Chain A
Amino acid sequence: MAEFAFEPEPEVRLAPGETVKEISGRSPWRIAGRRLVRDRVAMAGIVLFLVIVIISFLAPVYSKHIAHTDPFNSNISGTTVVDGKTVDVVQQGGGGLGLGETPIGPTWHSNYFLGADNQGRDVAARVLYGGRASLLIGVGSALICCLLALVFALLAGFFRGWFDTIVSRVMDLIWAFPVYLLAITIATVLLTTPGGVKLWFIHIQATSLWIPTLVIALIYVPYVYRPVRGQVLATREKEYVEASVSQGASNLRLMFSEILPNVSSTVIVMFPLMIATTVLTEAALSFLSIGVQPPKASWGTVIQDGQGLLYTRPWVAIAPGIMIVLTVLSLNILGDGIRDALDPRAKVRVRE
């Protein structure tokens, strides 16, 4: 009889500055966790993202207790105090030929910190509230998208056959549309349905954040589905899955205990990058006025409000854009960090 000797994985990838001793005997997740925590840049990304999340969710506190403004009702005839003088929030004149109305610019203190938009609403408070909506939609749609893609990829890759064919064709079809055009098509159809969308027992109002969330989740499903399905197909053929089959494991057990843990790292790496993408997409849709609907605000809608005031009150458009850049940047940095933690590039042979 041939002798079998169990060998450890012949090739293990080490992160820069890591020794074999540090990772031997630890589970892959713990090793990745350690690497991530030690990655200062990735940690900075997490902190920045969390700070943005926290201040966005403190929006009601800010508008009520610091700014003392209502960011959802127009306040055209309101006043504020600048340098001890009472000033109109929306001043007459200042437009072309001295006509029209000009909202107040940044006061740089609590009340109307970044000025007002042309409805006399506090821009700083709207940016924070907008952040709440943008983050909810971004994280929510990335979550739904990844979950849908994971479920379909597991089922299609595991059972193959006609189910795989149908799902993969549908994914190819979504893939063949330019993403923005598909998003605009679906969003327009949903938004113009009078009285909101009715699907069986679910009823979604046109102003609901669910519409942009679902639209964005749907259009990106193939981008997660494709790589995960490929991995499921490959993992299915591995010896340990066969071993599990020979022990009489059920299909469910095979899918969730054997295959899922081995493809989940792909989804985890993609997740922050998906949020970055969905936040940008939400902003674009809202900018085109087919994302978040008034009176609700999101970073995209505030930028759109600011478009008409671009040359007179540029901060209305600039501030939410900076928030988007910081959010997406932090998520991209975090995504890079997670990818490096799970699969560092430096290949080192482990043979001691």
Chain B
Amino acid sequence: MLAFIIRRLIGLVAVLFTITVVVFLLFFATPGVDPSARLAGRNPSPETVAAVKHEFGLDRPLPVRYALMMKRLFISRDLVSYGNQALEVVPAILSAAPVTFSLVFGAAILWVIGAVAMGMLAVTFKGSFVDPLLMILALIGISMPVFWLGEVLNLITQDRLHDTIFFRWVPPLGYVPFTQDPWQWFLHLIIPWITLSILYIGFYARVLRANMLDIQNEDYVRTAKAKGLAPKQVLVRHVLRNSMITFVSLFGLDFGVLVGGGALLTEVVFNLPGVGRLTYNALTQLDLPVIMATVIYGAFFISILSAIVDILYARLDPRIRPA
């Protein structure tokens, strides 16, 4: 186990290093791209550009610049944004992370419950109209652009039906920290949770259904039936449990991507100041320090989650214990 963890940690450092180098090179070594031109304001004189370059250390060799940025990010932790000198990168991420966590955790709970329910219903009612109906709904779910779905829900709950009994409770867009008012936190996040989870409910329900149908043909399921186990027991203990292997590995990766900033479209539509939106704003302003920090943050979560997936995997399926 210890060897497994150490191996994972080395892999994580390697991934983080390569990713940051690639992002760094994309920004500084692509011909024609020059963050200093943007920093210097509109139509700057060559002298201003040179002064700005010197001030930000952009006139130094690339490896030195990279090392300095990493030092300020990890050791002195005082790296500031290019665009807004008052914005310290590390606190900015630390204050955005809880927003993203709140959004993704709630959505994940919804999508696991929703997908397992839909998948089991579809398998149980295979052959009747319920199965194709659920699968068409799932297919529509995965075919909707998440930002468009968010806008349509905003239109309904914020405007068109806002004054009806159904949606009177929906608060205006935005975020209220859990520590400030848990009830308002919950209310503000319900519609974003639903929006974010629909795609995943559809996707996971389809995967789960296909897996369960495959597994129903396995020999051990036949054995379980033959020894007289109740159909419900067979479905839950044998079919569902084995189908969860794929489900869990997919879930871990998707969860990691979302926590790491992949939920930015939902955050933009619902005006949630999370990590995804922070990254997006930084990217469009070529604000390299913030980009570096958010990319490291994102890759960190993706790697951690994939390690957790491997551990869970082994717990669900004893055949794949790490050696």
Which A residues are within 8 Å of any B CB, using their own CB?
173, 176-181, 184-186, 188-189, 192-195, 197-198, 276, 280, 283-284, 287-290, 300, 303, 306-307, 310-311, 314, 317-318, 321, 324-325, 328-329, 332-333, 345, 347
Asked whether, in the complex, the Cβ of B151 is within 8 Å of the Cβ of A307, the reply is yes
A306 / chain B contacts, CB cutoff of 8 Å: 151
Take A194-B32, A288-B280, A324-B148 as given contacts and tell me if A189 and B140 are in contact as well, using a CB distance cutoff of 8 Å.
no
Stretch in contact with the other chain, from B87-95, B153-161, B174-182, B241-249: B153-161
Assess the A181–B30 pair: CB atoms within 8 A. no
Q: Is the CB of B265 within 8 A of A188?
A: no
B152 contact from A185, A300, A321, Cβ within 8 A: A321
- Residues of chain A with a CB closer than 8 A to B139's CB: 329, 332-333
Whether B252 sits at the interface, judged by CB under 8 Å, is: no
Q: CB-nearest residue of chain B relative to A300?
A: B145
B interface SS class: helix
Task: Report yes or no: A328 in contact with B143, Cβ–Cβ below 8 A.
Answer: yes
Q: A181-B261, A329-B143, A333-B139 are in contact. List 11 more A-B contacts (CB 8 A).
A: A180-B265, A181-B262, A184-B280, A184-B284, A185-B23, A185-B291, A287-B147, A318-B152, A324-B144, A328-B143, A329-B139
Decide: B158 and A184 in contact? CB cutoff 8 A.
no
Please report the C-alpha to C-alpha distance between residue A290 and residue B262 in the assembled complex, in whole angstroms: 16
B195 in the interface (beta carbon within 8 A): no
What number of residue pairs across chains A and B have CB atoms under 8 A from each other?
127
- Shortest CB distance A212–B (Å): 15
Q: Is the CB of B143 within 8 A of A178?
A: no
Interface string of B129-170 (1 = CB under 8 A from A): 000000000011011111111011011001110000000000
A178 near B32 with CB under 8 A, answer no
Contact yes or no, A180 B264, CB < 8 A: yes
Is the beta-carbon distance between B158 and A283 smaller than 8 angstroms?
Answer: no
Assembled-state Cα–Cα distance A184/B260 (Å): 14
B residues neighboring A (CB under 8 Å): 15, 18-19, 22-23, 26-27, 30-33, 38, 139-140, 142-149, 151-152, 154-155, 158-160, 210, 213-214, 217, 257, 260-262, 264-265, 268, 279-280, 283-284, 286, 291, 295, 298-299, 302-303
Task: Pick from B142, B155, B261: contact of A178, CB below 8 A.
Answer: B261
Q: Which one of B143, B261, B284, B295 contacts A332 once the chains associate, using CB atoms below 8 Å?
A: B143
Q: Is the Cβ of B286 less than 8 Å from the Cβ of A188?
A: yes
**Closest chain A CB from B204 CB (angstroms):** 15
Point out the residues of chain A lying under 8 angstroms from B15, CB to CB. Answer: 176
Residues of chain A lying within 8 A (CB to CB) of residue B152? 317-318, 321
A interface secondary structure, majority? helix
Cα distance A184–B261 in the bound complex, in angstroms: 12
Query: Which of A194, A290, A310 interacts with B154 by CB under 8 Å?
Result: A310
What CA separation (Å) do A306 and B18 show in the bound complex?
Answer: 39
Contact A178-B257, Cβ < 8 Å, known A185-B291, A307-B151: yes
Measured CA separation A181–B152 after assembly (Å): 24
Pairwise interchain contact B148-A317, C-beta atoms closer than 8 A:
yes
- CB neighbours (8 Å) of A289 from chain B are 284
Specify which of B19, B26, B32, B283 is in contact with A195 (CB 8 Å cutoff): B32
Shortest Cβ distance from residue A187 to the other chain B in the assembled complex, whole angstroms: 9
C-alpha spacing A186/B303, complex, angstroms:
22
Smallest CB separation, A177 vs chain B (Å): 7
The CB with the most chain A CB atoms within 10 A, among B15, B148, B210, B268, is that of B148
Verify A198–B31 contact, CB threshold 8 A. yes
**CA–CA, A290 and B280, complex, Å:** 11
The reply to whether B155 and A321 form a contact with Cβ atoms under 8 Å apart is no
B18: chain A residues within 8 A (beta carbon): 173, 176
Q: Are B299 and A176 in contact (CB under 8 A)?
A: yes
| C-alpha gap A192/B39 in the complex (Å) | 13
CA distance A318 to B152 in the complex (A): 7
| 8 Å CB contact of B147 from A185, A189, A284, A329 | A284
Given contact pairs A180-B265, A181-B298, A332-B139, A325 touches B19 in the complex (Cβ within 8 A): no
